[in-house]
Amino acid sequence: MKKTTTRLADGRELLYYDSRDDVVRDAVDRRLLDAVATSAELRRDPLLGDTVAVASHRQGRIYHPPADECPLCPSRDGRLSEIPAADYDVAVFENRFPSLAGDAGRCEVVCFTSDHDASFADLTPEQAGLVLDAWTDRTAELSQLPGVEQVFCFENRGKEIGVTLGHPHGQIYAYPFVTPRTELMLRSLAEHRERTGGNLFDDVLADERADGRRVVLEGEHWTAFVPYAAHWPYEVHLYPNRRVPDLLQLDEDARTEFPHVYLELLKRFDRIFGEGEPRTPYIAGWHQAPFGAADRCDFALHLELFTVRRTSGKLKFLAGSESGMSVFINDVPPETAAQRLREVASQ
């Protein structure tokens, strides 16, 4: 992998990740851009104890532009975009409309490919491996920023999720705090250790592998399963079989196998609702240990993938119980979801 760092016209950082070492990235951003002005502010909820980011400047972000005006496509034929180069493998840049900025953290955009009409599932294993390398590198770099406690690499796909740009891309959030979801995991981890002496993540993975009913696919180094208490109709957790706290600690064997396992999972997600259906909307995100956690080596890196579609043409909306009280009601038994995801395996 070759990494090239440069700057956009307004000073934001742009990084190219190339599979070939002989690629030269010297294109200059010729746009006339004002300096980025953000209003990102973090406020703590005194009742729930969680943090809310207030970012009013995001009201002006680009919303579903036509394909020929996509800001994530390469700059070509006189049309200038966020990517000055005429082509790229993987590109990462500071978000122009960040939810977190300055002392409140950092947000980056990850463009998986220059092909506007592709999706992550369309990538080759080599391309997907390069994205994994970019995620890992950004985790390492962002962890060194003052105040950053946790890095979250994720992808939102589909208008149903709220995506405003159709180009295949994801995001990376560097939080200056530990997120509420991770806090809950750490609390459960500590309680399980005190109660049993074991590691919660190891025991969950071992139990799912032993039971087998919710296992979707198994590799030599990765296991994908629908969790016993899945919140979403189709939800898969992907764990490395050897526990590590973050992407930086994955060994080469796990890194080599990951693209094959993950691409197969995404292809199955696109088939679960039958032929002729639009591509399945989903959220996929890496859960990594906070950098300052005392027991971070007990945390298990894993990826969570789920869709808001519950059946053909119908979405799972978060209504009163889910949105009001955080009590999920799942319409699809996890064992049924796992069986369906096994049925649509690639031939």
Confidence (pLDDT) at 68? 87
Confidence (pLDDT) at 36? 82
Degrees to nearest 5, angle at CA 54 with 50 and 56: 165
Percent of the chain residues past pLDDT 90, beyond the cut: 88
Token pair recorded at residue 255 = 């890194």
**Three-state DSSP state, 279:** coil
For 112-153, write each residue's pLDDT tens digit. Answer: 999 999 999 999 999 999 999 999 999 999 999 999 999 999
Statement: residue 61 has pLDDT above 80:
no
Per the residue annotation, which of 167, 169, 237, 302 is the catalytic one?
169
Q: Distance between CA 204 and CA 298 in Å, rounded?
A: 13
Half-sphere exposure of 206 (CA within 13 A, CB side): 8
Statement: residue 63 has pLDDT above 70:
no
Q: Domain 180-343 is of which CATH architecture?
A: 2-Layer Sandwich (3.30)
Higher pLDDT, residue 296 or 347: 296
Does residue 274 come out as left (phi exceeding 0), alpha (psi in the -120 to 50 range) or beta?
left
For 164-198, write each residue's pLDDT tens digit. Answer: 999 999 999 999 999 999 999 999 999 999 999 99
Percent of the chain residues past pLDDT 70, beyond the cut: 100
Statement: residue 347 has pLDDT above 80:
no
Confidence (pLDDT) at 216? 98
Q: Is-catalytic flag, 169?
A: yes
Token pair recorded at residue 35 = 């300096």
Q: What type of residue is 334?
A: P
Q: Distance between CA 229 and CA 330 in Å, rounded?
A: 9
For 273-323, write each residue's pLDDT tens digit. Answer: 987 778 999 999 999 999 988 889 999 999 999 999 999 999 999 999 999
Mean per-residue pLDDT over the chain, rounded: 95
How far CA 288 is from CA of 65, 133, 157, 293, in Å, comes to 33, 15, 21, 11
Same fold, 2-175 and 180-343: yes
- Class of the CATH-defined domain 2-175: alpha beta
Statement: residue 49 has pLDDT above 90:
yes
Q: Grade residue 65 by pLDDT with cuts at 50, 70 and 90.
A: confident
H or E, element range at 323: none
Q: Which residues of 246-284 are buried (b: 16+ CB within 10 A; e: fewer)?
A: bbebbeeebbebbbebbbbbbebbbbbbeeeeeebbbbb
Query: Where along the chain do its domains lie?
Result: 2-175, 180-343
Using the Cα atoms of residue 291, residue 295, residue 296 and residue 301 in order, give the sign of their dihedral.
Answer: negative
| pTM higher than 0.75 | yes
